[in-house]
Amino acid sequence: MTFGRARIEARFAKLRAEGRSAFVTYVMSGDPDLQTSAKILAGLPGAGADIIELGMAFTDPMADGPSIQAAGLRALKAGITLRKTLELAAEFRRQDTETPIILMGYYNPIHSFGVDAFLKAAAEAGIDGLIMVDLPPEEDEELCLPTLAAGLGFIRLATPTTDDGRLPAVLANTSGFVYYVSYAGITGAGSADADTVGAAVARIRGQTDLPIVVGFGIRTPEQAREIAAVADGAVVGTAFTDAVRDSLDGAGKATDTTVAAVLDLTRELAAGVAAASRKAVGGAQP
């Protein structure tokens, strides 16, 4: 059975065969509560998500804007922990064995859990990869190398400040795909410019065969279409945490519309990605 890095690779192989880019949804684990979060997760693939990034709540998310900060705090208030996030993933995995789940967040909760114990539990839960905002290549021995040894993907962030001299170091131990951050800044604060992003993707493409997925600054179907045309995938995050927030009642609790709000948005954005005419197709051929 495929898991981990292999599941991510299988997903990109399927997308290539279909001639389209990946639509990657970032949702905060446990937001606004565990039960609603489980329903959102279960519905995402049917609504068009090709890959799920599952945000790990952290009290001090230094690279996130107000919307994702608030989503993390809602989840923490509702009782999310790293262990419960793994349980949510395991529950999802019982229904869906093909959609990759990537945990995205900050290192400390994993550090606290213990790296070896975490990697074992994550693999068992059906987690396929990690994106760690505060683990640059300089700290690869902390988590990146053990993650690769465990068969999971470690997806590195490349940014507009990652110049050609540094890019090889960033790509060296990256697996699954490369996550290109479209602008220098925090989540939800800027807008991805398709021309600039296209040039950056081309630059990275010159140094890796991995798929290149772009995130930060994509929130509308039109933006998703433009970015999907120049990259192997488009990530949307803040628009989802906004959708959750806007669906809550006065006390900040989930309502009947919460799950639908997220899944409707997923369908709209997935249609945007599907409408992209691919200008570039990356990734090693199977």
Partner 1 sequence: MSKLNSYRTGPDGAGRFGIHGGRFAAETLMPLILDLERAYRTAQADPSFQQELDYYLEHYAGRPSPLYFAQRLTEHFGGAKIYFKRDELNHTGSHKINNCLGQILLAKRMGKTRIIAETGAGQHGVASATVAALFDLPCTVYMGEVDVERQQPNVFRMKLLGAEVIPVSSGSRTLKDALNEAMRDWVTNVHDTFYIIGTVAGPHPYPELVRDFQSVIGNEARAQLMAAEGRLPDTLVACIGGGSNAMGLFHPFLDDDGINIIGVEAAGDGIETGRHAASITGGRPGVLHGNRTYLLQDDDGQITEAHSISAGLDYPGIGPEHAWLHDMGRVSYVSATDAEALEAFQLCSKLEGIIPALEPAHALAHVAKIAPGLPKDHLIVMNMCGRGDKDIFTVAEMLGVEI
Active site residues: 53, 64
The overall longest dimension of the chain from CA atoms, in Å, is 51
Q: Is 10 an interacting residue with respect to partner 1 (CB under 8 A)?
A: no
- Please give the C-alpha separations between residue 26 and each of 126, 151, 198, in angstroms, as whole numbers: 17, 22, 22
CB of 135 to partner 1, least distance (A): 7
Residue of 18, 35, 46, 62 that binds partner 1 (CB under 8 A): 62
Number of residues lying near partner 1 (CB under 8 A): 43
CB of 28 to partner 1, least distance (A): 14
Residues 120-139 that bind partner 1 (CB under 8 A): 133-136, 138-139
Question: What are the DSSP E strand ranges found in the chain?
Answer: 22-28, 51-55, 101-105, 129-132, 153-154, 157-158, 178-181, 212-215, 233-236
Tell me the window of 17-25, 90-98, 106-114, 198-206 that interacts with partner 1 (CB under 8 A). 106-114
Pairwise CA distance, residues 205 & 189, whole Å: 26
Pairing verdict, β 22-28 and 51-55 = parallel
Q: Is 112 an interacting residue with respect to partner 1 (CB under 8 A)?
A: yes
Q: Is 92 an interacting residue with respect to partner 1 (CB under 8 A)?
A: no
**Cβ(201)–Cβ(162) below 8 Å:** no
Q: Is 69 an interacting residue with respect to partner 1 (CB under 8 A)?
A: yes
Pairwise CA distance, residues 223 & 268, whole Å: 12
Q: Is 181 helix (H, G, I), strand (E, B) or coil?
A: strand
Which of 207, 257 has the CB closer to partner 1?
A: 207
Q: Is 241 an interacting residue with respect to partner 1 (CB under 8 A)?
A: no
Q: Is 256 an interacting residue with respect to partner 1 (CB under 8 A)?
A: no
Q: Is 108 an interacting residue with respect to partner 1 (CB under 8 A)?
A: yes
Q: Map residues 183-212 to x or -, x wherever contact with partner 1 holds by CB under 8 A.
A: -xxx--x-----------------------
CB of 30 to partner 1, least distance (A): 11
Residue of 51, 157, 236, 239 that binds partner 1 (CB under 8 A): 157
CB of 136 to partner 1, least distance (A): 5
**Cβ(281)–Cβ(18) below 8 Å:** no
**Cβ(64)–Cβ(186) below 8 Å:** yes
**Cβ(153)–Cβ(9) below 8 Å:** no
Backbone angles phi, psi at 153, to 5 degrees: -85, 145
Which residues sit at the interface with partner 1, rule CB under 8 A?
57-63, 65-66, 69, 76, 81-83, 106-113, 133-136, 138-139, 156-163, 166, 170, 181, 184-186, 189
